[in-house]
Structure 1
Amino acid sequence: MTVMMHRAVVYRAYPTREQAALIERTCGCARFLYNRMLADKIAHYRETGEMLRVTPARYKREFPWLKEVDSFALCNAQLNLDAAYRNFFRRVKAGEKPGFPKYKAKHRSRCCYKTNFVNGNIRFEGDGRYLRLPKLGSVRVRQKREIDPSWRIKSVTVEHTRSGRFEVSVLFEFETQEPERVEPESFVGLDYSSHDLYVTSDGERPGYPRCFRRTEWKLAREQRKLSRMQKGSANWGKQKARVARIHEKTRNQRKDFHHKAANGLVERYDCVCVEDLDMSGMSRSLKLGKSTMDNGFGMFRALLSYKLEDRGKRLVTVGRLFPSSQLCHECGYRFSGTKDLSVREWTCPSCGRTHDRDVNAARNIRDEGMRLALSA
């Protein structure tokens, strides 16, 4: 069976000085339009009690300089605002406490815009060394992977990162055969670990290198320099970019480790069982918060999910109320002493078996995930 799939590929871009200035101007116009439309919607609702429906064309008459930038960037700003409103009302109906759409600040929001493919306005040129974009023309890019000629471009997101780099994220659409569902034969359970990222039911620990911890001293030094500078000065801007480059390097190291660890699990096992943890709540912990944010287990779980789906395999999530750390894997005895996180090893009072806390929990997660997978 043929299915339609999408893949986003990120390229490093090297625009000229004029192209870089136009990218900045386009991002500013998209942000201005988003804020202006939000303000008009709020004012109109307060006056009439009805929702205002407007398009970027109305604002181009009032602000002619909006015509100088890519029109698709302005259209996507409107779509983003509409999506923010839809998410707000959806969460209200669900009984949650949603956040109302907010204005985008110039110095805190992402400097990016999105444009769409229409009638060949976006294409690669020069053996993939250049990417032609609306209004910008041909922008030099660095291609790290070969793209199948049958892949079709859907949209492009252009971003000027805080570290000073320019990146273009190209969204491709292509047809492929739906992966055949694999009957699970090999199972593995993953228990979350603050230091090692996870521990498998086979006792393996990937040994997460703690990317943020290793660069924390350097980041603190650069942030102290930034705090002593005059805000808004040229040196302040340069130092701010240095701090952003440290964060960017840490992010890239973490993402690289996650991809390699996920690929290893996907190649060896047919079904991976994980716990449904409240990562947001754990990140607010005074003792475990920094380690939880550092290892990024939630992002790793998302990577693992789509890599398994691409191969017809499964990711089974065990409920967060399942007492994986308290159950003895051998006899099923429930030992409440493991509620204390400082207990790393314990002996079952029923069968006398000594357990490593993490390995025992991973085996219980594997068995429960196996039961859920086979009963589905």
Structure 2
Amino acid sequence: MELCKPKLWIKHIVLELYPIKSKKNFNHFLAQSKNDKYLSYSKFAAQLPKLKKEYNWLKEVDSISLQQSLKDLDKAFKRFFKGLGGFPKFKSKKNNKQSYRTQYFKRSNGTESIEIKDNKIKLPKLGWVKFRKSREITGKIQNVTIRKSKVGKYYISICVQEEIKELPQNNKAIGIDLGLKNFLITSNGEIVSNSRTLSKYKNKIARLNKRLAKKEEGSNNWYKVKNKLARVHEKIANIRKDFLHKLSTKLICENQTIIVESLKVKNMLKNSRLAKSISDASWSKFVDYLSYKAEWYGRELIKIDTFFPSSQLCSKCGYQNKKVKDLSVCEWECPKCHSIHDRDINASKNILQQGLQLQLTSR
């Protein structure tokens, strides 16, 4: 949800400073860990009251956000010790990712650190701030994250705890073949066109990049053009997310079982000719949306093996036609049963059959 620009300039300045101060706090304890050794979240958090007396900048920030930055550091070190990630890196205040997180808690006098009334939200130290409510807030508030986008807008993500009711069960199952020409083709023969959001704005992006290259880096005009370019990219991302969310919700609502291929997108991106189109399609994000929504609403998402030859098999008799490896083959006739297949619809039917077999064997 988007925060409206605070009328009081002091709130706007504080909102600018919070992410920077949180990063500074993160960097301070990371430097301490490098010089000595990493202790733990609880031992570092115990040092904050003493440090506030030494460094005034720590008093300017919501104390919960400082603790959250230490939790992020603790999480980064735990991942490093388990071999799941590299050694934590210092955070730059010049980085475009400016955000901070604060926690909900109830004070001894009964007041709450975070409250929502109509189109206003109360945040620690900031007080009441207006925001554009994209949906009603239900459930118990856990924490909120305030993020500044590249175009200077502030967004707030509200994490709540609530019980999600499962959708009524049905016996519908569907296979999905993801593609570039069409975004997806279902085993029912339904074709969803690829929105190609990036290609619609490529000329505008090219013009703005050309203008940006002519400006002196760091000048006011350079920042103005850079801001316009960031707005275009933000619009593309929002259109893409809206498309993916609406489509994934529709499929989850209509079907009990959804079957997709496990795509190795990172390997596919190595194809420089198709990399931009593959990134624009956002298959991985789409499957992620299906995955968590299926878990929420009591649906089943089945992923079949990447190397399953869904396009080569005849969905009628099971004959494997290796000539169909050629991507230029859009329609083919099975040499065995003489069925005529549309490449993508046939693939989605094979994906459905393979997924249902996996479902039976796993039970």
Same fold (TM over 0.5): yes
Q: Secondary structure at the match of 2:121?
A: strand
The code of the aligned residue for 1:69 comes to V
- Give deviations 1:247-291, integer Å, cap 9, x for gaps: 110011111111221222123221110001112222232122111
8 A Cα contact 1:273 1:318, kept in partner: yes
**d(CA) in 1 for partners of 2:356 and 2:13?**
55
Task: Find the partner of 1:83 among 65, 75, 80.
Answer: 75
**Aligned residue among 128, 139, 142 for 2:132:** 142
2:158 counterpart of 1:167: no
SS at match of 1:91: coil
Residue from 181, 184, 197 that aligns with 1:211? 197
Alignment map for 1:1-376 (pairs within 5 Å) = 10-16=1-7, 17-45=9-37, 54-55=44-45, 57=48, 59-91=51-83, 98-119=85-106, 120-125=112-117, 128-148=118-138, 151-175=139-163, 179=166, 182=169, 185-375=171-361, 376=363
The equivalent residue for 2:109 is none
**Does the residue aligned with 1:155 lie in a helix, a strand or coil?**
strand
Q: CA deviation at 1:51?
A: 5.0
Task: Give, as a single letter, the amino acid of the residue that structure 2 aligns with 1:118.
Answer: F
Tell me: CA distance 1:317–1:181, structure 2 relative to 1, closer, same or farther (3 Å). farther
Identify the range of structure 1 (338-347 vs 234-243) with the bigger mean alpha-carbon deviation.
338-347
TM-score (norm 2): 0.91
Matched residue SS, 1:14: coil
Distance 1:264 1:99, change over 3 A: same
**Quick check: 137-146 or 168-177, which moved more?**
168-177
How many residue pairs match? The answer is: 352
Instruction: Report the Cα distance in structure 2 between the residues aligned to 1:62 and 1:228, rounded to whole angstroms.
Output: 46
Structure 2's unaligned 5+ residue stretches are 107-111
> Which string of whole-angstrom CA distances, capped at 9 and with x for unpartnered residues, describes residues 305-355 of structure 1?
222333321111111122212211111111222222222222222222222
User: Scaled by the length of structure 1, what TM-score is found?
Assistant: 0.88
Give, in angstroms, the shift of residue 161 of structure 1: 0.8
Q: Deviations over 1:203-252 (max 9, x none)?
A: 22111221111001101111222222222222222222111110110011
Q: Contact 1:206 / 1:261 at 8 angstroms: preserved in 2?
A: no
What residue in structure 2 maps to residue 6 of structure 1?
none
8 Å contact kept, 2:175–2:260: yes
Amino acid at match of 2:278: T
Question: Shift in Å at residue 24 of structure 1?
Answer: 1.2
- Per the TM alignment, residue 357 of structure 1 is displaced from its structure 2 partner at its CA by 1.5
> Are the equivalent residues in 2 in contact too, given 1:181–1:313 (CA < 8 A)?
no
Contact 2:2–2:133 under 8 Å retained in 1: yes
SS at match of 1:285: coil
Q: What displacement does 1:34 show? A: 1.4
Greater length-normalized contact order (CA 8 Å, ≥ 6 residues apart):
1
Distance 1:12 1:371, change over 3 A: farther
Distance 1:223 1:140 in 2: 34
Alignment gaps of 5+ in structure 1: 1-9, 93-97
